[in-house]
Amino acid sequence: MENTVRRNIDFSTIIVRVVGYCFIGLFAISCLLPFVLIVSSSFSSEGAIMEHGFSLWPKEFSTFAYEIVFRNPRLVIGSYVVTMLITVVGTAVGLFIVAMTGYALQRQDFLFRNKISFYIYFTTLFSGGLVPFYLLVTQYLHLKDNYLAVLLPGLLSPFLIIMMKAFTKSIPNEITESAKMDGAGDFTIFLRLILPMSTPALATIGLFIALGYWNEWYNSMLFLSPNMDYRPLQLFLYNVITSADFIRNSAAASNVPPQDIPLESMKMATAVIATGPVILFYPFVQRFFIKGITIGAVKG
């Protein structure tokens, strides 16, 4: 009787695993197919896209879209360098500030933690608006045509501070108290104890900050004029697409066939250029991201 029950349990487990693996496999394929479609379309000719639509394999292989985007390699490489520098510096500084803020706000001996927490939360509900923000950056901070205008606004995020606060609250308070008894100061406790124990949260928050800087183009458009030699990658690619769209719209007046301007394949090529480094970097932080994204989900 016991062997029969065990056999039924084992069979049920196998069925559940097979169904689960099949479902996860189909979900993974559904997530992968859009990116394969983008890569395939970026290597398709404009005529094939207009005639057959997008496909998982190029109907007519062509690198014309990449040739147009990389027509001036110096600008592309310069945009990459600017974006990487802003992303690395902004992520490092922003992560450190967010971690310190979240840790300080969960300390019971911090006198103004409730008032500051409310102030941070209040900013998620109301903002000053675009015009005051623009005047602050250009007229008071004098950061027009300065990369700091792109770097500074992304350093802090109320959502990330709340996430870091929730994680550091799960660290036993006895660790801080024992370190204080050994003569360690608050900053030493933060650097040597809190940060090493907050690796999942730091990886998750760092990924959010890095993606925000990597995909940033709006502040760049507002504060960085075309007179600058190099602007962030996303804005550069946006300008390339906008220029191609303008030329295509005026093709009738210029007697240029629309298919000679690979607008659709250029859109896909710019997507590949912009997302490639992120896709290569993501697997290294994935295990921390999965653990860190569940911060505060389970209480106890």
Q: What is the pLDDT of residues 137-166, one digit of tens each?
A: 999 989 998 999 999 998 888 889 988 888
The pLDDT, as a whole number, for residue 98 is: 92
What pLDDT score was predicted for residue 151? Answer: 92
Q: What's the pLDDT at 292?
A: 52
Backbone angles phi, psi at 97, to 5 degrees: -65, -45
Nearest to 168 by CA among 89, 93, 212, 108: 108
What are the percentages of helix, strand and coil residues in the chain, rounded to 5?
75, 0, 25
Least confident of 7-11, 247-251, 295-299: 295-299
* pLDDT range class, residue 94, cuts 50, 70, 90: very high
Identify whether the C-beta of residue 167 lies closer than 8 Å to the C-beta of residue 102.
yes
- Residue 44, helix vs strand vs coil: strand
Average pLDDT over residues 96-121: 87
Q: What mean pLDDT comes out for the span 46-67? A: 81
> Tokens 């075309």 label which residue?
226
Per-residue pLDDT for 252 more than 60?
no
Q: For the ranges 18-22, 213-217, 250-254, which has the lowest average pLDDT? A: 250-254
Percent of the chain with pLDDT over 90: 10
Which position has the token pair 């500051």? 116
Query: Does the pTM exceed 0.85?
Result: no
Check: CB of residue 47 under 8 Å from CB of residue 261.
no
Residue 95's pLDDT band (cuts 50, 70, 90): very high
Which bin fits 57, alpha (ψ -120 to 50), beta or left (φ > 0)?
beta
Q: Is the pLDDT of residue 54 over 60?
A: yes
pLDDT over 80 (residue 253):
no
